[in-house]
Structure 1
Amino acid sequence: MVVTGIGQCSWDFLATVDTYPPADSKQEVLHWEEQGGGPVATALVALSRLGVRSTFHGVVGDDELGVRIRRSLDKEGIDCRGLVTRSGAVSQRAFIVVEQGSASRTIFWQRPTGEPLSQGELSSHYLDGSSFLLLDGLMVEVSLAAAGDARQRGIPVMLDAGRLRPGMADLARSCDYVVAGEQFAFDLGWDGGDGTFAGFARSIGAPVVTVTRGTEGSLTWWKEGVLRQPAFPVAAVDTTGAGDVFHGGYLFGLLQGWELSTVLPFASAMAALKCTRSGGRGGIPDLQRVADFLQGNGIVLPRRKDR
């Protein structure tokens, strides 16, 4: 099994404080950390730790952060031959302030200054052997083209939809699974009500739509109706990257051929365990840790498929 990812990769600077500071003030940092980040890149790291191979396609600059981003993905065993370095460009970066007591975070980010990846920069063999395509839609033109290529080859496509950007609605209609944050749903007009979710999800045009809701868990609509998945309570340290890791867990479950009733608690457990450590990647668990956690919550996973 191989997952192909096209999208964002970042270098994250994380500062943990006791309370989020008001404007025009100073605040001492309790803990400082740096990690790789980005929605698709972090989801692929989660898959790698679960034993799934992946290839990543994106853009970095020829700066020091670009070197760190690539090195962090190489270390996780992700094939980065599709990660293009733009000369004279600045890599994507984020400064994340984490409030210690609540584990909530505020993200300030800068997109890469290099040109987005183009369809012509994808190898003619970039989908060979792929079992799934994962997109986040930041580079919408190449994402739409890749979704079309995958459709022609019978490869299912998942969209990580963080918020509504130009072209995202069209991209969502081209995908088999849309797994979105609440902001994306609100941007498209959902009022947040459970009773209106099915109608809203159906309007997106994808066969399966999941919206993650933080501590309220997630809602999923597909042909059999709406499935509500509660979040697992944990001693959260930092919610950074929880959605990205949720996507990785969701993809893993689909690759196993599990029913959504198993996929969703698995993805939720992945996200919950990630939140017990700082940063988007520091707390990503391996399969045994997730299985033990779920068993402690009365859920036994089916036998894993061979790689």
Structure 2
Amino acid sequence: MASPRAIDLLAYGDPNADHIYLADRVPLADEKLLGRKLGVFGGGTAANVACAAARLGLKTAAFGRVGADADGTMLLAENAKLGISNDYMTVSDDPTASAMIIVNAEGEKALVYAPMPGVAFDEASLTKAVQQSRVVYAMPYDIEEFTAISRLARADGCLVAIDIEAAVAPNRERLEALLKLSDIVFMNEPGFLATSAEPLTPDAVEKLLDFGPQLITVTRAAEGAISVSRDQALTQSSFPTSLVDATGAGDCFNGAFLAAHLAGASLAETLRFACAAAAISVSAVGARTALPDIAQVQATLSA
């Protein structure tokens, strides 16, 4: 779908470098396990979504910070390689955000995240960015910061998309506050159940639309996803895959969902497209290594 705006998706948030290790399992307290370092990969929720969306044809830009170090240089280079604009990225004297991720033989993971201090928010720069964007995407840990982002975006006709995990909305009050500030909402099943007194069903998700969003999607890992809008409630099963590393699968799903949605696909087509993309993304180590292009997703859909 053609748009006069130069940016389809603005990814708000600092990217991070994922330092990934392979081990039989996650170690317990005071326990040492042998493992193997698999490498350093680009990561960060919003950044991963931008990468996935860019691979699938969206015009994307990043808004955030990196450090003046090797990790920061790598992350900016990855953006440039994928065609993601770095015009709204800044370089700080602080170390680049990073995550230590332990992956087991089944591809499941545990991680420790070390963010950059402070926030990336700069009102003048963000205002300029959202004026050129169709959607701004964020994982809103700081409610005051996100309130300001939502206000600026909506004032300039830019949709607000968010990713809500249990750590982002640990209680019902925080969840409802975030929903009121958002247009497109992504949740995972643990995040939904953390604030819900009822099981995850399309009807239960649909009730959350009362707080303001146009569209809410809940991913269920290997079980697929549920998506509801004002006039539809749909479920989609997952696609067969060979799981190597689940890191970033949800981010790929969200980026693919937004790519299809902004291209004008129906909700059913969008949900199926996103599930297919996510299935491909877990077939290699690293959140971005196996991000698919449109041809790969279409091949999975056809199969």
TM-score, structure 2 normalization: 0.88
Q: Is the 8 A contact 2:49 2:254 kept in 1?
A: yes
Q: Deviations over 1:73-128 (max 9, x none)?
A: 222221112122233x232110111111x211111111212x20224352542124
Aligned partners of 1:128 and 1:38: how far apart in 2?
Answer: 24
Matched to 2:78, the amino acid is S
Q: Find the counterpart in structure 2 of residue 64 from structure 1.
A: 70
Query: Which segment drifts farther, 50-59 or 195-204?
Result: 195-204
After superposition, residues 1-307 of structure 1 pair within 5 angstroms as: 2=7, 3-30=9-36, 32-87=38-93, 89-100=94-105, 102-113=106-117, 115-165=118-168, 169-194=176-201, 197-198=204-205, 200-296=207-303
- Residue 250 of structure 1: how far off its partner (Å): 0.5
Contact 1:119 1:142 in 2 (8 A): no
Q: Displacement of 1:279 after TM fit?
A: 1.0
Structure 2 residue identity aligned to 1:136:
M
Secondary structure in 1 matching 2:38 = strand
Gaps of 5+ in 2: none
Contact 1:156 1:176 in 2 (8 A): yes
Asked if the contact 1:16–1:97 (Cα under 8 Å) also holds between the matched residues in 2, the reply is yes
- CA contact under 8 A between 1:8 and 1:138: conserved in structure 2? no
Q: Structure 1's 291 and 196: CA in aligned 2 closer, same or farther, altered over 3 A?
A: closer
Structure 1's unaligned 5+ residue stretches are 297-307
Deviation, structure 1 residue 214: 0.7
* SS of the residue 1:157 aligns to: strand
Residues 17 and 29 in structure 1, CA contact (< 8 A), matched pair in contact too: yes
Structure 1 window deviating more from structure 2 (55-64 vs 177-186): it is: 55-64
Task: Please report how far the alpha carbon of residue 154 of structure 1 lies from its aligned counterpart in structure 2 after TM superposition.
Answer: 2.5
- CA distance in structure 2 between the partners assigned to 1:280 and 1:29 by the alignment: 19
Are residues 132 and 193 of structure 1, via their aligned partners in 2, closer, same or farther at CA, if it must alter by over 3 Å? closer
Retained in 1: the 8 A contact 2:127–2:153? no
CA distance in 2, matches of 1:117, 1:30: 33
**Number of residues of Structure 1 aligned to a counterpart in Structure 2:** 293
CA distance in 1, matches of 2:21, 2:195: 32
Q: Distance in 2 between matches of 1:27 and 1:214?
A: 27
Shift of 1:31: 5.2
Moved more, 244-253 or 5-14: 5-14
For the aligned residue pairs, the C-alpha RMSD in angstroms reads 2.2
